[in-house]
Amino acid sequence: DQQVKQNSPSLSVQEGRISILNCDYTNSMFDYFLWYKKYPAEGPTFLISISSIKDKNEDGRFTVFLNKSAKHLSLHIVPSQPGDSAVYFCAAKGREGGSNYKLTFGKGTLLTVNP
């Protein structure tokens, strides 16, 4: 059963507009959420994160919003740039016995920003 869901496999936006990538989770034990960005032939790189004690975290053009009651988070990119074109993975983390934390990833959303 998929615990982290990214229901949109792809998203296309115009340069300068807002990109909104969505993510839903089912496990209420998740307490930390991350977004990773992945270019072709490269490994994922960390983009932004949010703790469950917050509902918003902002870093430059990137903002992540967390709605705990809905078990939903979203990544906003404003303004979108062609260099933002990549696959974006949502990931969640929670304690699973002992002190080991593991990331659970969504399937990813391919963002294409058109010039």
Partner 1 sequence: NAGVTQTPKFQVLKTGQSMTLQCAQDMNHNSMYWYRQDPGMGLRLIYYSASEGTTDKGEVPNGYNVSRLNKREFSLRLESAAPSQTSVYFCASSDSGANVLTFGAGSRLTVL
Residues 93-112 that bind partner 1 (CB under 8 A): 93, 98-108
1 in contact with partner 1 (CB under 8 A): no
Rounded to the nearest 10°, the torsion over CA 99, 45, 40, 109 is 70
Query: In the complex with partner 1, which residue's Cβ is closer, 17 or 95?
Result: 95
Q: How far is the CB of 26 from partner 1 (least distance, A)?
A: 15
- The count of residues interacting with partner 1 (CB under 8 A) is 27
Query: In the complex with partner 1, which residue's Cβ is closer, 53 or 115?
Result: 53
Q: Residue 68: helix, strand or coil by DSSP?
A: coil
Using an 8 Å Cβ cutoff, are 51 and 92 in contact? no
Using an 8 Å Cβ cutoff, are 11 and 95 in contact? no
Nearby residues of 59 by Cβ (< 8 Å), 6 or more positions away: 48
C-alpha closest to that of 104 among 32, 45, 55: 32
Residues 2-61 that bind partner 1 (CB under 8 A): 4, 6, 9, 32, 34, 36, 41-46, 49
Which spans of this chain sit near partner 1 (rule: CB under 8 A)?
Answer: 4, 6, 9, 32, 34, 36, 41-46, 49, 89, 91, 93, 98-108
